[in-house]
Amino acid sequence: MNGTGGYGANDVAFQPGSLAYGVFQGSAQIWNSAYSWGKAAAIGTAAVVAAPVAIETVGSLSSMDVVVGSGSPFHVAYGVNGTWLNATGDFFNMTITDGTSYARLVQMYGGLQFSVPILYPDAVLETAGTAASTCVTGACSAFLKGWGF
């Protein structure tokens, strides 16, 4: 006994090679293993529970549509819910204007078309009338505004 009423680390019965030491050492390995498996199970359960929520959240986001078609060397238009915008003017001195006719041409005659998720569709449309360096920077700026930046 160690004076506290129990067995302590300084007790002869708990020295390496003793039966008590072997039992507790094995118990520690079992509990460490059980803890590791429990931790892995908790992480796995959290991932399984969170995945549908994440998928539903991304699926419920609005989207910004983007078309890339012919231009000099190409042109980009973007829109939300059928309202299209694009940057027109001279390079590095452009203004975001209505891009409906360009978007329709790309949709009819081919080009790259895709959608990107956004949080704030109205913010994308509020870029109308703002300045842009190029059509690409205008679309990128609209995308960032669609995320609240």
Q: According to the model, what pLDDT value does residue 128 have?
A: 94
Binned at pLDDT 50, 70 and 90, residue 110 comes out as confident
Average pLDDT of span 1-9: 49
| Whole-angstrom distance, CA of residue 110 vs CA of residue 84 | 17
Q: How many CB atoms lie within 10 A of CB 72?
A: 6
Question: What residues does each domain of the chain span?
Answer: 14-59, 62-146
Sorting pLDDT into bands at 50, 70 and 90, what band is 99?
A: confident
Give tens-digit pLDDT for 40-59. Answer: 666 667 666 666 666 556 66
What pLDDT, on a 0 to 100 scale, did the predictor assign at position 118? 93
Cα separation, 99 vs 84, in Å, equals 5
Residues 141-148 have a mean pLDDT of 95
- Residues 65-98 have pLDDT tens digits of 999 988 878 889 999 998 999 999 998 999 999 9
